[in-house]
Structure 1
Amino acid sequence: MVVSDELEERLVSTCRTGFGDTLRSVILFTPDEWTLSYVRSDLRELEPALRDVKAEIVENERLGFTSQETYHSFAGEAPEGETLGAYRFTVRAFDHGYLCRVIVGEVGVVATTDEMNIDTFEDVATTLRKLIAD
């Protein structure tokens, strides 16, 4: 189990509320395991094929655990006012949608969406970070 059932439900609910009908999928992952927690209804018939694609996505997004450590050390070593601050989330833009990754500690969330206003990602990612941290 990647996270508790209650936390999984809250993370998926946050994504569904924040991204609305543009949300395609939600994946929860750790360095060792992952689960496809949500697939939009019009994509469910494709779920077996999606699992293979999602497995590749997770393998790539797991690199974020290492990146998070690197960014954290940069933030701590930079002179005052010369840092970007702490890592918060990643958004990847594609021709037909977006991928948003949030990592806190040993838990990550990936949400995929259709095309939409990119500003929405900050609100959703901030809430996901708070839920995972609690």
Structure 2
Amino acid sequence: MDDDLLPEEARDRLTTTCRTAVGDSLRSLTYFNRFDYQQLYLRSDLERDADLSSFIGNEWHDFKTTQDAYRGSELGEYRYTIRVFENGYLVRITLEDSGVFVTTDGITMQDFEALSAAVVETLNEWE
């Protein structure tokens, strides 16, 4: 894990963007590329015991597989993935070479849409 993967301004902007989009429902925020990752936010009531390295490997591999599998389909361009778990959601939002996964408590589809749009805009500024 590289603590300097993104400039501080980009880390702060991504965190603010996610907090604005989903409020107190934000559980965690992790930025990643195919080589490394950096956890940018973890809500204070959660423990730092997640195996982020495994999560990143899975999310990067799955993004590439999903992107390739659905390329050219009538569904349109891939935008983001929502994973539903017993205690929350994981949203993967990925550009070609980097992305984030955001974990949240229960939020609406409109919140997921707003989160995705805001994160993509922010990532595009730093890529």
TM-score (normalised: structure 1): 0.81
CA deviation after TM superposition for structure 1 residue 13, in Å: 0.8
Once structures 1 and 2 are overlaid, which stretch shifts more, 19-28 or 56-65? 56-65
Pair 71,122 (structure 1): closer, same or farther in 2 beyond 3 Å:
farther
Structure 2: gaps of 5 or more residues: none
CA 1:13 to 1:85, structure 2 compared with 1: closer, same or farther past 3 Å?
same
Instruction: State TM-score, norm by structure 2.
Output: 0.85
How many correspondences in the alignment?
A: 122
Distance 1:95 1:118 in 2: 17
Q: Percent identity?
A: 32
Show CA shifts across 1:88-133 (max 9, x none). 1111111221000111121110000112323311111011111112
- What RMSD in Å do the two structures reach over aligned CA positions? 1.8
1:27 maps onto 2:25 in alignment = no
Alpha-carbon distance between aligned partners in 1 of 2:6 and 2:63, rounded to the nearest angstrom? 16
Answer yes or no: is 1:123 the counterpart of 2:121. Answer: no
* Structure 1 portions without partners, runs of 5+: none
Contact 2:82 2:92 in 1 (8 A): yes
- SS of 2:5's equivalent in the other structure is coil
Partner of 1:38: 41
Q: How does 1:103-122 map to 2 (within 5 A)?
A: 103-122=94-113
Mapping 1:7-86, distance limit 5 Å: 7-43=10-46, 46-47=47-48, 49-50=49-50, 53-67=51-65, 69-70=67-68, 74-75=71-72, 83-86=74-77
Aligned twin of 1:90: 81
